[in-house]
Amino acid sequence: MDLNLLSTFSAVYRHRSITLAAEELNLTQPAVSAALKRLEGVVGKTLFVRSGRGIAPTGAAVALSDKIEMPLAVLETIEKRQEITRVYCSESLMHLVCDLPGLSFVEAPLSEKQLLADIDSQKVHLAIDFATSTSQAHVVEDIIEEPAVCVCRKDHPDIGDSLSYEDYYRAQHIALKIRRNNANMMDYLSQKPSPPRIIKAETGSVSSMLALAATTNLLGASTLSLAKHLAPMLNLKIFPIPLEIRNVQHRMIYHRRFVNDEDHKATREILKSVIQNNQYQ
Q: Which domains does the chain have, with CATH numbers?
A: 3-80 (1.10.10.10), 85-144+249-278 (3.40.190.10), 148-246 (3.40.190.10)
Report the chain's terminal Cα–Cα distance, integer Å. 54
The β-bridge partners of 89 are 107, 128
Q: At what angle do helices 29-43 and 3-15 cross, to 10 degrees?
A: 110
pLDDT band at 53 (very low <50, low <70, confident <90, very high): confident
Higher pLDDT, 47 or 73: 47
Supply the pLDDT for residue 75. 60
State how far the Cα of 111 lies from the Cα of 94, in Å rounded to an integer: 18
Q: What is the largest CA-CA distance in the chain?
A: 74
212-244 as b/e: b if 16+ CB within 10 A: bbbebebbbbbbbbbbbbbbeebebbebebebe
Whole-model pTM: value is 0.67
**Which contacts (CB < 8 Å, 24+ apart) does range 5-8 have?**
5/35, 5/38, 5/39, 5/42, 6/39, 6/68, 6/72, 7/72, 8/32, 8/35, 8/36, 8/39
**Which contacts (CB < 8 Å, 24+ apart) does range 36-41 have?**
36/8, 36/9, 36/12, 38/2, 38/5, 39/5, 39/6, 39/8, 39/9
Are 47 and 59 contacting, i.e. CB atoms less than 8 angstroms apart? Answer: no
Cα 103 to the center of its chain, rounded Å = 16
pLDDT band at 80 (very low <50, low <70, confident <90, very high): low
Q: Which residues make Cβ contacts (< 8 Å) with residue 8, sequence separation at least 6? A: 21, 25, 27, 32, 35, 36, 39
Task: Render pLDDT for 110-151 as a digit per residue (tens, 0 to 9).
Answer: 888 899 999 988 889 999 998 889 888 899 999 999 999 999
Q: What's the whole-number mean pLDDT along residues 158-182?
A: 88
Task: Render pLDDT for 224-234 as a digit per residue (tens, 0 to 9).
Answer: 999 999 999 99
Supply the pLDDT for residue 66. 85
Q: What's the Cα-to-Cα distance from 179 to each of 21, 114, 129, 175, 207, rounded to whole Å?
A: 26, 11, 12, 11, 16
pLDDT at 223 over 60: yes
Average pLDDT, the chain: 87
Supply the pLDDT for residue 46. 93
Supply the pLDDT for residue 1. 54
